[in-house]
Amino acid sequence: MKIKEVIVVEGRDDTVAIQRAVQADTIETNGSSIGEKVLVQVELAQERRGVIIFTDPDYPGERIRRIVSERVPGCKHAFIPKRDAISKNGDDLGVENASPEAIRQALHNAKQEIMDDIEEEISWQDLIDAGLIGGTMAKARRDRLGLLLKVGYCNGKQLYKRLLKFQVTKDEFAASFAQVLEEEQND
């Protein structure tokens, strides 16, 4: 599988894992201290080929995603579930630990960021009403919903922004949330 876009990753180990899974070029941020030089490279890549941001499913990875996304709008975003990014011994979380199949799946499901004229199909109140903000089940529900919608795990505020940014429709949201509720009843 060959990827046209340049994939933004955190480090060399991520590049190696990506190249085991697909044919692609990467730009490494070298961790969360992203320099101006790297951001300029990402801007150029976005202009010429497009960019997929593919960072670890943890706080530093989300921070890198946010920094790159704010500087270079219109990127695609690939998310890998935490369960697929945990090392065999369970002490490390990152893209570099994912199987080639999990990486291919995340890249296949990459979401295009929409920045112009964002239409609010899903409201903040919809998230509250669904029990995705506040309450004992909110975190688990957001985690499962993020997997189903392929927008990654996030807190309530981030979920709201991603639903808008990736133009998730009310129908997609409702169907995925119904599945979350069904799974809760079956547990």
Last residue of a domain, one of 112, 139, 166: 112
Q: Residue 118: which pLDDT band, with cuts at 50, 70 and 90?
A: low
- Give yes or no: residues 105 and 143 share one domain: no
Asked if 138 contacts 153 with a C-beta cutoff of 8 angstroms, the reply is no
Q: Is residue 117 part of a domain?
A: no
- The CATH number of residue 53's host domain is 3.40.50.140
The residue with tokens 């975003």 is: 77
Could you report the per-residue pLDDT of 51-101, keeping only the tens digit for each? 999 999 999 999 999 999 999 999 999 999 999 999 988 889 999 999 999
Q: What is the identity of the amino acid at 76?
A: K
- Write down the pLDDT at residue 115: 66
> Measured between alpha carbons, how far is 64 from 179 in angstroms, rounded to an integer?
31
* Domain range for 158: 124-186
Q: Give long-range contacts, CB 8 A cutoff, 24+ apart: 126-134.
A: 126/170, 126/173, 127/156, 127/159, 127/160, 130/177, 132/156, 132/159
Could you report the per-residue pLDDT of 122-145, keeping only the tens digit for each? 999 999 999 999 888 999 999 999
Residue 40's contacts (CB-CB under 8 Å, 6 or more residues apart) are none
Could you report the per-residue pLDDT of 160-172, keeping only the tens digit for each? 988 988 889 899 9
- Residue 106, beta-bridge partner list: none
- Give yes or no: residues 25 and 102 share one domain: yes
Number of domains within the chain: 2
